[in-house]
Amino acid sequence: MPWEIWLSKLGIRALLFKTIFLLIIKLTKKYMTNETKKKLFDSPFTNVPYPIGDGVQRTYKFKNGYGASVVRFKILNSYSSYTDNEREWELAVLKFNKNGDWYLTYETPITNDVIGHLKKNNVENILQKINKLKKTNTIIKQRIYE
């Protein structure tokens, strides 16, 4: 009989441990802040001087074949992209072909145009959405750079 008591105590301890463990996991997921999640905005990107005016362009490419062009630039000391200051960005959704060339695409649930006047956290949210798009084999014919 002592082994039955021991097994019942072990079962209760295992159940208690499992309950506490699952609660910790649930709370960790619930209270995880944006700072602890992977930030796409600061992830590896191609950062080049923007070819028009004084500015910068960040190009992101995701495994699903989509990406983003995030720009901010000035012409004659005036912001000329869809931005008004150095804290705002303009974003366009990109589609990459097999050669790694990219094209603007307006055929996603994200947007049917470029999106301007975005703060860093807004860009991050849109990058997360682009990264989650389903991979497609659509051929996009509009090329923005040669």
pLDDT for 43-81, tens place per residue?
A: 656 666 666 778 888 889 999 999 999 988 888 888 877
CA dist 28 and 17 (Å) reads: 16
* pTM recorded for the entire structure: 0.65
Contact (Cβ atoms closer than 8 angstroms) between residue 71 and residue 55: yes
**Residue 74 phi, psi dihedral angles, 5° rounding:** -120, 150
Residues with Cβ within 8 Å of 117's Cβ and at least 6 positions away in sequence, in order, are: 82, 83, 84, 88, 90
pLDDT for 81-136, tens place per residue?
A: 788 888 899 999 999 988 888 899 998 999 999 999 999 999 999 999 999 999 87
Contact (Cβ atoms closer than 8 angstroms) between residue 96 and residue 88: no
CA dist 87 and 46 (Å) reads: 19
